[in-house]
Amino acid sequence: MDGSVTVITNPTVSVRVTSTVSSFEVNRRFNRGITIAECKSKLELIVGTPAAYMDLELFSTSDKFLQKLDNNQALLGFYPVDDECRIHVTDRSGTQSAEFTDLSKVEKFEISDEAYEKRTDSIRNFKKNFKLGRFNEENRAKEEEALAKKEEEEKVAAGSIAVGNRCKVEVVGQPTKIGTVMFVGTADFKPGYWVGVKYDEPLGKNDGSVNGKRYFECEPKYGTFVKPLSVIVGDFPEEDCGLDEM
């Protein structure tokens, strides 16, 4: 023995994450061996900002600015990041100022229903002439019958789902997501039966409330509402998010 001491650093680190697109703070564990570029990809799932439009800053446990994480090829562990440090994400995509979603200044063309009814060059008049859509009584009856059947299937499916159930959500065109059932029933935002789910990861659309009405409690972007037929109840363990992988 030569009396030397070898210090083994924990390969993972638990940090606080904040961003300019939300006032909410979350805690996440990252592997020190990932690059800043890989770190941005993981943060994209948390804050919703495209990785290419992120600027990262590192703050100490007491929220003192340390330095920018501006080298995409550098390892996270290259920087002085310790447990309870804070990584702040600045969004440069325009999301934070809503410049791409604010329609308040867009001039809108409006016409009364009575005036629209009199127009001969409208889509409504075209559908009337060719008996399309709701102007085709036979098709409309079939659509109403199909809708009633689907609503009954959703009601039966909702009856087999209970608050507290672990579940997976399968929606066509989207990846399968795992979570916990937090709400089952009808809602004000749309007709029919709905299932409120709190996902294990921030892959949702809300915090359990819609249009100012709260249906259940969860962190922002963890909550969602889906139709009962998209929910499969089962013994699904919580996902580890892959944050401890080497």
The verdict on residue 110 lying in a domain is no
| End-to-end Cα, the chain, rounded Å | 31
Average the pLDDT over 127-136 and give the result: 78
Backbone region of residue 133 per phi and psi (left: phi > 0; alpha: psi in -120 to 50; beta: other values): left
Q: Can you give the pLDDT at residue 118?
A: 86
Using 50, 70 and 90 to split pLDDT, how confident is the model at 106? low
Window from 5-9, 31-35, 162-166, 206-210 with minimum mean pLDDT:
5-9
pTM for the whole thing? 0.45
Q: % helix / strand / coil in the chain, to the nearest 5?
A: 25, 30, 45
The verdict on residue 139 lying in a domain is yes
Average the pLDDT over 34-38 and give the result: 94
Q: Can you give the pLDDT at residue 9?
A: 58
Largest CA distance in the chain: 97
Name the domain count of the chain: 3
Q: Structural domain of residue 141, as residue ranges?
A: 123-156
* Residue 218 sits in the same domain as residue 174: yes
Name the token pair of 245: 């992988």
Highest mean pLDDT among 63-67, 102-106, 138-142, 143-147: 63-67
The verdict on residue 74 lying in a domain is yes
Q: Are 74 and 36 in contact (CB under 8 A)?
A: yes
CB count in 10 Å sphere of residue 122: 14
Dist. CA 178–CA 199, nearest whole Å: 6
* Residue 150 sits in the same domain as residue 128: yes
Pick the residue with more confidence: 112 or 67?
Answer: 67
Find the helix or strand (DSSP H, E) in which 208 lies. none
Q: Can you give the pLDDT at residue 147?
A: 84
The verdict on residue 73 lying in a domain is yes
* Residue 141 sits in the same domain as residue 171: no
126 pLDDT above the threshold of 70: yes
Q: Can you give the pLDDT at residue 24?
A: 82
Residue 76's closest CA among 26, 39, 27?
Answer: 39
Q: Can you give the pLDDT at residue 7?
A: 45
Q: What is the CATH number of the domain that holds 167?
A: 2.30.30.190
